[in-house]
Amino acid sequence: MNKAVALRTARSVCPHDCPSACALDVDVIDSHTIGRVRGAKDDPYTAGVICEKVARYAERVHHPDRLTQPLRRSGPKGSGQFTPISWDEALDEIAARFTAIENEHGAEAIWPYYYAGTMGHVHRDGIDRLRAAKGYSHQYDTICTGTAWPGYIAGTGMLGGVNPEQMAESDCVVIWGTNAVHTQVNVMTHAMRAKKERKAKIVVIDIYETATMAQADLGLVLRPGTDGALAVAVMHVLLRDNLADRDYMAKYTDFGPDFEAHLATKTPEWAAEITGLSVEQITAFAHLVGTTPRSYFRLGYGFTRQRNGSTAMHAALCIPAMTGAWQHRGGGAFHSNSGTWKLDKSRITGSYLQKGNPRSLDMSEIGPVLTGDAKALKGGGPVMAMIVQNTNPASVAPDQTLTHRGFAREDLFLVVHEQFMTETAEFADIVLPATMFLEHNDYYTRGGHTRVLYGPAVIERLAGTWSNHEVINALALRLGLDDDLFRTRDRDVVAETFRRSNYGELDEIEKSGFVDRERPDAAARFADGFAWPDKRFRFEPNWEETRLKKGYMWTCDPAAMPRFADHWAITEATDAGHPFRLATSPARAFLNSSFNETPGSQKREGAPSVFIHPDDAVRLGIEEGVFVTVGNRRGSVDLTARIRTGLPTGVLIAEGLHKNKSHRGGKGINTLTNATPAPPFGGATFHDAAVWIRRAD
């Protein structure tokens, strides 16, 4: 940490893929150097609190391993052997190769690939501008939100909910399937305020005792993939014990006799068998939310990373529709506000330049796509070239064996634009060095709250790095595209996007650093009805209408979907050869694979490890700290055993995405996860794997 006196404090925004999008105060020591990073005190959601990994950001932005020169591969694929080249050489070569591949195989053979390494829209989504103008293959975005969002929309009709600041006014905060202490610490700020000031009860629902659960009054540890069973049993108890708000349901929902009959068999005894919870725990939870009008359901992503994740999200969301919690301040539900920005992003994505109607390839299926799976390729030809920005699929994508086999193809031309030599960059033919958020201009939406924030460059860029926006533009011009969109600067694109979206002028917005998109409280709690034509919340989802809301694609037979909110037993089943269920829950000091390069985070997370229940450990002769191998049909991974109470027998938890090479044997945790799209519309099921475990040889 740099102890020098700060020249000034600059306002910025955390760019990482976290629902909090914290407003930051960054100490600027000189035009090239930052010092401490703090959470902005005057931002009501950030409220002066940020996570420790971003507080230490000087470690990341001034890291000695940052890339500063374009590189050309000089050894075999994946060898990590490169020769420095100039930017002109690199861009010329990419343009020449892309053109040759397009001429030989067609534009769809090129697949630009990105995700949310930065959440700034200009530098994240600008890759789509090149894609559209050239008619390259589309990317179907599923990896993170593919199961969660449809499950929520299926109930309410839109992606939005009650302002999360109102958690502080709640009498019961239900933190469901998110380890907020690790993944979005600001949820805890507001929930704990309710606990302190109003003696609110905190409920946490997870598959092991997390740091978040340690703060709970009621912690429910259930078996992975059984949240739907808990939710319908809670509704059974609410009806049975006259705790359902029948007036609210009659006015605001599709509740009827068929759904009531469906719930009649969903007893706590039935759910106890499935979830591993006791009848008393289920009943106590139902009574708590049934007798607390101001119950706030903060629904996370984690529990939707199961094969039945969309239906689980929908089932959990049904509870406040039955208690009528939506009617009360401090009550209701929230998953994401990403459906509320109303941004015109055409200057970023170049949507109006779209050429042809190319196929859309599922990003979670990158392994099958690159290894020639006909279904994943949508009946088209192979992918022959990629440009990757803002993501590290060699580490984060499911079914790592296939992903690596694909990246190792000698006939795949791979360009990776990165800040560090990630495990994806190591596979590249050309590596391009990228700026960081403190070195470029962008705006950020905050899915976990109500604001859109502006983050200007606060220091000079590290010499040799280019921003995503610049790379996309330079490449487009070399590929013969001459639309003025490819001659823009990042700040101007932000300004124009704000103008087109009726947000106002950037010069003005910059003074406060944000636009508040908070909707009127009544709208956020659907007081005038839910976002379906009949204005009713749906206990009986219409998945086809849900699909149409966002242009999703079916990945299963529509007739297979359960009719009502339900437990859908389709997770990867254990059997004699694979008796354990593995979840790959988030590590506190890493953010996906980001920060696994910073010393502070590496120190905190230590070696890649797996939590196992003491009874299982004794039975299998596994002692604390020994090497174990965890495996399944897709491969096997070496980890260090950590014996823990606080998780069910038969369940294993491996926190975090350590570098693949930090694992003995070099295979990362995603070797064990699967790339088969979840129903109904795709999504990766990172916490859903049946595995075996044994002491390593």
Ligand X SMILES: Nc1nc2c(c(=O)[nH]1)N[C@H]1C(S)=C(S)[C@@H](COP(=O)(O)OP(=O)(O)OC[C@H]3O[C@@H](n4cnc5c(=O)[nH]c(N)nc54)[C@H](O)[C@@H]3O)O[C@H]1N2
- Applying CB under 5 A, the residues found at the interface with Mo ion are 144
Closest to ligand X by CB, 253 vs 275, is 275
Q: Which residue of the chain is nearest Mo ion when measured via CB?
A: 144
* CA-wise closest residue to 442 among 416, 461, 464, 468: 468
Residue span 335-374 as binding mask against ligand X, x where in contact by CB under 6 A, dash where not: ----------------------------------------
* CA-wise closest residue to 364 among 633, 68, 684: 684
Site for ligand X in 266-325 (CB under 6 A): 300-303, 305-306
Is the Cβ–Cβ distance between 132 and 294 less than 8 Å? no
Other CB atoms within a 10 A radius of the CB of residue 426 amount to 20
Q: What CA–CA distance (Å, rounded) separates 332 from 286?
A: 15
Q: Of 10, 13, 14, 17, which lies in the binding site for ligand X, with binding defined by CB under 6 A?
A: 17
Site for ligand SF4 in 591-630 (CB under 6 A): 591
Closest to Mo ion by CB, 144 vs 617, is 144
Is the Cβ–Cβ distance between 302 and 206 less than 8 Å? yes
Q: Of 46, 118, 147, 156, which lies in the binding site for ligand X, with binding defined by CB under 6 A?
A: 118
Shortest Å, Cβ 391 to Mo ion: 11
Q: Of 12, 20, 292, 596, which lies in the binding site for ligand SF4, with binding defined by CB under 6 A?
A: 20
302: DSSP letter:
G
Stretch binding ligand X (CB under 6 A), from 219-227, 444-452, 506-514, 552-560: 219-227
Burial class (CB in 10 A: 0-12, 13-18, 19+), 354: middle
678 touches ligand X (CB under 6 A): no
Site for ligand X in 464-493 (CB under 6 A): 468
Q: What CA–CA distance (Å, rounded) separates 539 from 547?
A: 16
Q: Of 10, 22, 425, 430, which lies in the binding site for ligand SF4, with binding defined by CB under 6 A?
A: 22
Q: What angle do CA 494, 495, 501 make, to 5 degrees?
A: 90
419 touches ligand X (CB under 6 A): yes
Q: Tell me the Cα Rg of the chain.
A: 25
Q: Of 139, 283, 311, 593, which lies in the binding site for ligand X, with binding defined by CB under 6 A?
A: 593
- The partner in contact with residue 172, picked from ligand SF4, Mo ion, ligand X, none with C-beta cut-offs of 5 to 8 angstroms by kind, is none
671 touches ligand X (CB under 6 A): no
The partner residues of 84 in beta bridges, in order of sequence, read 71
Other CB atoms within a 10 A radius of the CB of residue 78 amount to 15
DSSP, collapsed to helix, strand or coil, labels residue 516 as strand
Shortest Å, Cβ 533 to ligand X: 30
Is the Cβ–Cβ distance between 187 and 175 less than 8 Å? yes
Shortest Å, Cβ 187 to ligand SF4: 9
Stretch binding ligand SF4 (CB under 6 A), from 15-23, 102-110, 268-276, 402-410: 15-23
Is the Cβ–Cβ distance between 304 and 148 less than 8 Å? yes
Closest to Mo ion by CB, 323 vs 403, is 403
* CA-wise closest residue to 300 among 151, 170, 180, 456: 180
- The partner in contact with residue 22, picked from ligand X, Mo ion, ligand SF4, none with C-beta cut-offs of 5 to 8 angstroms by kind, is ligand SF4
Shortest Å, Cβ 20 to Mo ion: 13
Q: Of 10, 11, 21, 340, which lies in the binding site for ligand SF4, with binding defined by CB under 6 A?
A: 21
Closest to Mo ion by CB, 147 vs 601, is 147
Q: What CA–CA distance (Å, rounded) separates 378 from 675?
A: 15
Give, for 431, the enclosing helix (H) or strand (E).
strand 430-433
DSSP, collapsed to helix, strand or coil, labels residue 309 as helix
How far does Cα 657 stand from its chain's mean position?
13
In one-letter notation, the amino acid at residue 80 is: G
- The partner in contact with residue 50, picked from Mo ion, ligand X, ligand SF4, none with C-beta cut-offs of 5 to 8 angstroms by kind, is ligand SF4
452 touches ligand SF4 (CB under 6 A): no
Shortest Å, Cβ 37 to ligand SF4: 8
- The partner in contact with residue 225, picked from ligand X, Mo ion, ligand SF4, none with C-beta cut-offs of 5 to 8 angstroms by kind, is ligand X
Closest to ligand SF4 by CB, 18 vs 630, is 18
Is the Cβ–Cβ distance between 2 and 30 less than 8 Å? no
441 touches ligand X (CB under 6 A): no
434 touches ligand SF4 (CB under 6 A): no
- The partner in contact with residue 164, picked from Mo ion, ligand SF4, ligand X, none with C-beta cut-offs of 5 to 8 angstroms by kind, is none
Closest to ligand SF4 by CB, 55 vs 218, is 55
- The partner in contact with residue 686, picked from ligand X, ligand SF4, Mo ion, none with C-beta cut-offs of 5 to 8 angstroms by kind, is ligand X
* CA-wise closest residue to 347 among 178, 475, 490: 490
Q: Of 182, 190, 314, 525, which lies in the binding site for ligand X, with binding defined by CB under 6 A?
A: 182
Closest to ligand SF4 by CB, 22 vs 90, is 22
Residues with Cβ within 8 Å of residue 682, at least 6 apart in sequence: 140, 142, 146, 147, 362, 364, 552, 553, 555
Q: Of 46, 147, 163, 390, which lies in the binding site for ligand X, with binding defined by CB under 6 A?
A: 390
Closest to ligand SF4 by CB, 54 vs 462, is 54
456 touches ligand X (CB under 6 A): no
480: DSSP letter:
T
Closest to ligand X by CB, 444 vs 686, is 686
CA distances from 517 to 216, 379, 492 (A): 31, 42, 21
134 touches ligand X (CB under 6 A): no
Q: Which residue of the chain is nearest ligand X when measured via CB?
A: 302
Site for ligand SF4 in 155-214 (CB under 6 A): 184-185
Place of tokens 């449809």: 150
Q: What CA–CA distance (Å, rounded) separates 446 from 360?
A: 27
User: What count of residues does the chain have?
Assistant: 697
Half-sphere exposure of 243 (CA within 13 A, CB side): 21
Shortest Å, Cβ 335 to ligand X: 9
Site for ligand SF4 in 39-58 (CB under 6 A): 50-51, 54
- The partner in contact with residue 434, picked from ligand SF4, ligand X, Mo ion, none with C-beta cut-offs of 5 to 8 angstroms by kind, is ligand X
Is the Cβ–Cβ distance between 519 and 332 less than 8 Å? no
Count of positions on this chain that bind ligand SF4 (CB under 6 A): 12
What φ, ψ does residue 387 adopt, rounded to 5°? -120, 125
Residues with Cβ within 8 Å of residue 129, at least 6 apart in sequence: 348, 349, 350, 353, 472, 476, 485, 486
Stretch binding ligand SF4 (CB under 6 A), from 16-24, 257-265, 266-274, 366-374: 16-24
* CA-wise closest residue to 601 among 561, 659, 669, 560: 659
Half-sphere exposure of 69 (CA within 13 A, CB side): 8
* CA-wise closest residue to 277 among 342, 244, 233, 247: 233
Instruction: Catalog residues that contact ligand X under the rule CB under 6 A.
Output: 17-18, 115-118, 123, 143-144, 177-179, 182-184, 205-208, 210, 224-225, 227, 300-303, 305-306, 389-392, 396, 417-420, 422, 434, 468, 583-588, 590-594, 657, 669-670, 673, 686-687
Instruction: Catalog residues that contact ligand SF4 under the rule CB under 6 A.
Output: 14, 16, 18, 20-22, 50-51, 54, 184-185, 591
